């Protein structure tokens, strides 16, 4: 997942960057980093949450300058490394933060390694500076654009080089990126909720295939060579983005509510109450309850001081996280419950939640999921690892129902999801297997 922020021409840019990445904390909790630039580059990366890393004035004072970029990171399978990366190249310093996965990273890493490149991390991001070092062009920015034309897959990036801030989005626009004004400067972030927090105005989407270069005098817009074919990640609407973010002129909260309404139309069952799995199922459950005229109850409490189980790196931590995370209100005795969540990834959370409700005395538990079954991995930057670990990759809905212990289990259909999202140009590959960009390994 990951979240990125870029600030241009704002005094104490790193302060605003820290605020911006704090607003994106839901996109990654493993680590965070900021790189700022005055006459030279200054960097701080660490494991942990943004407020732990950047709350001390001293840390921000050590990141001076009026441009900066920041990143919150979660690790995709097998990938470890700093949130932001920095390289000294022939033209000077190059700082980068990246959200997304390249579909040709295996190819590029092998090719570059054979040519003598030494990788310091296992992240895709490092491919960019290595390619940049080997690419000739009329200016550092021109070289970066050439590099972005070479790589494939998903990338929303912010970069500092040659006294400029460069932001770019791949021509499928898999991952979000928005831009706004702040006083005399510009701010860029993965989601509008981060720019709202900063106090930015004139917020717009960075379009797929766009490269925007901010320099002292100008804001220049370039376009990548590949034909634009929008495939925005539909999962951003279901789960990843914060409900107060606006994507493609649609408030995520409104979309998520419509998703819940569609789910109720498709999978209605009579029950005493509709209960969301907090927080991820809350808005869809509200839509479901409105549509079905069944009382909405916040029957589960979530401990907010435990990280999101979906995005933590190891199974051991995930299992512990689920236990620590939710508790049941004393509402369920002898009642029929419709429980709503946004997805079932491995099934461990759903199973534990159903156990929790069953142990609290529920008579029947009907699980409704506000997305279609996730049957394949994401190749574009989301940690839905491999088919074997995805319960819907290997099991039928009936088998999943048995595994989680529900009395019934139903999912939203792909058609219902698209009706709710209301628009074209979405990637839904992890549900349908129709991947817009193929992987390349050699
Ligand atoms: S495969 Fe799924 S998670 Fe990945 S970009 Fe497509 S819709 Fe989003």
Please work out, in degrees rounded to the nearest 5, the angle formed at the alpha carbon of residue 160 by the alpha carbons of 156 and 165.
75
Q: What is the C-alpha to C-alpha distance for residues 224 and 210, in angstroms, rounded to an integer?
A: 6
Residue in 432, 19, 425 with CA at minimum distance from that of residue 237: 425
pTM of the model: 0.93
Residue 77: pLDDT band (50, 70, 90) is very low
User: Cα of 79 to ligand 1 centre, how many Å?
Assistant: 18
Decide if pLDDT at 78 tops 70. Answer: no
> What secondary structure does DSSP assign to 105-172, as a single string?
HHHHHHHHHHTT---SSS-GGGHHHHHHHH---SSHHHHHHHHHHH--B--EEEEEETTEEEEEE-TT
Question: Are 414 and 207 spatial neighbours (Cβ–Cβ below 8 Å)?
Answer: no
Decide if pLDDT at 442 tops 90. Answer: no
Nearest CA to ligand 1 atom 4: 378
Nearest CA to ligand 1 atom 8: 233
Catalytic residue among 2, 193, 378, 427: 2
What residues are paired with 321 via a beta bridge?
none
Q: What is the C-alpha to C-alpha distance for residues 36 and 274, in angstroms, rounded to an integer?
A: 47
User: Cα of 260 to ligand 1 centre, how many Å?
Assistant: 20
Q: What is the C-alpha to C-alpha distance for residues 30 and 331, in angstroms, rounded to an integer?
A: 35
User: Average pLDDT in the 43-59 region?
Assistant: 93
DSSP secondary structure code for residue 414 in this structure: H
Q: What pLDDT does residue 83 have?
A: 81
Question: Are 83 and 45 spatial neighbours (Cβ–Cβ below 8 Å)?
Answer: yes
**Ligand 1 pocket: which residues have CB below 6 Å?**
174, 233-235, 378, 380, 382, 427-430
Q: What is the C-alpha to C-alpha distance for residues 377 and 391, in angstroms, rounded to an integer?
A: 11
Q: What pLDDT does residue 380 have?
A: 94
For the stretch 198-233, pLDDT in tens is 999 999 999 999 999 999 878 999 999 999 999 999
User: Cα of 415 to ligand 1 centre, how many Å?
Assistant: 16
For the stretch 361-404, pLDDT in tens is 999 999 999 999 999 999 998 877 677 889 999 899 999 999 99
Question: Which atom of ligand 1 has the smallest separation from the CA of 435?
Answer: 1
Choosing from 412, 429, 436, 437 the residue with most ligand 1 atoms within 8 A of its CB, the one to mutate for a pocket test is 429
Nearest CA to ligand 1 atom 2: 430
Q: What pLDDT does residue 323 have?
A: 58
Residue in 123, 166, 127, 131 with CA at minimum distance from that of residue 37: 166
User: Cα of 384 to ligand 1 centre, how many Å?
Assistant: 9
What residues are paired with 133 via a beta bridge?
none
The 10 Å Cβ neighbour count of residue 320 is 14
Question: Which atom of ligand 1 has the smallest separation from the CA of 436?
Answer: 6
Nearest-10 crossing angle of helices 127-134, 140-150: 120
Q: What pLDDT does residue 297 have?
A: 96
Told to judge if 427 belongs to the known catalytic residues of this protein, a careful annotator would answer: no
Nearest CA to ligand 1 atom 6: 427
- The per-residue pLDDT of the chain, averaged, comes to 92
Cβ density class 358-373: b for 16+ within 10 Å, e for less: bebebebbbbbbbbbb
User: Cα of 272 to ligand 1 centre, how many Å?
Assistant: 34
Q: What is the C-alpha to C-alpha distance for residues 165 and 310, in angstroms, rounded to an integer?
A: 32
Residue 302: pLDDT band (50, 70, 90) is confident
């Amino acid at each position: 997942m990951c979240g990125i922020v870029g600030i241009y021409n704002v005094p104490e840019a790193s302060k605003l960057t820290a605020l911006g990445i704090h607003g994106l904390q839901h996109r990654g909790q493993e680590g965070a980093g900021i790189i700022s630039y005055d006459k030279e580059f200054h960097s701080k990366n660490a494991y942990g949450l943004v407020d732990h890393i950047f709350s001390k004035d001293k840390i921000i004072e050590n990141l001076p300058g009026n441009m900066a970029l920041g990143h919150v990171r979660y690790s995709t399978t097998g990938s470890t490394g700093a949130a932001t990366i920095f390289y000294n190249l022939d033209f000077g310093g190059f700082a980068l933060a990246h959200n997304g996965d390249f579909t040709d990273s295996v190819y590029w890493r092998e090719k570059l390694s054979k040519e003598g490149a030494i990788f310091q991390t296992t992240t895709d991001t490092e491919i960019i500076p290595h390619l940049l070092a080997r690419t000739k062009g009329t200016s550092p920015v021109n070289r970066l654009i050439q590099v972005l034309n070479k790589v494939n897959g998903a990338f929303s990036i912010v970069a500092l080089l040659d006294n400029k801030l460069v932001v770019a989005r791949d021509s499928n626009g898999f991952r979000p990126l928005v831009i706004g004004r702040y006083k005399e400067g510009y701010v860029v972030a993965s989601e509008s909720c981060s720019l709202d927090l900063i106090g930015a105005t004139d917020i717009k989407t960075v379009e797929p295939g766009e490269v925007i270069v901010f320099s002292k005098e100008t804001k220049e817009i370039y376009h990548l060579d590949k034909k634009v074919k929008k495939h925005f990640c539909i999962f951003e609407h279901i789960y990843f983005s914060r409900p107060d973010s606006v994507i493609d002129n649609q408030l995520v909260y409104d979309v998520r509510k419509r998703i819940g309404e569609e789910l109720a139309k498709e999978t209605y069952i009579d029950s005493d109450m509709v209960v969301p799995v907090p927080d991820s199922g809350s808005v869809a459950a509200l839509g479901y309850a409105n549509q079905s005229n069944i009382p909405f109850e916040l029957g589960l409490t979530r401990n907010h001081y435990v990280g999101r189980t979906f995005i933590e790196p190891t199974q051991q931590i995930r299992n512990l996280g689920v236990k620590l995370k939710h508790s049941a209100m004393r509402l369920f005795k002898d009642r029929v419950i419709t429980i709503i969540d946004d997805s079932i990834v491995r099934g461990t959370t759903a199973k534990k939640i159903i156990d929790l409700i069953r142990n609290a005395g529920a008579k029947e538990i009907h699980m409704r999921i506000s997305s279609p079954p996730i049957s394949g991995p994401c190749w574009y930057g989301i940690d839905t690892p491999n088919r074997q670990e995805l319960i819907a990759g290997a099991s039928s809905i009936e088998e999943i129902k048995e595994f989680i212990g529900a009395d019934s289990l139903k999912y939203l259909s792909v058609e219902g999801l698209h009706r709710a999202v209301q628009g074209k140009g979405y990637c839904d590959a992890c549900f349908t297997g129709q991947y817009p960009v193929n992987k390349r390994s050699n």
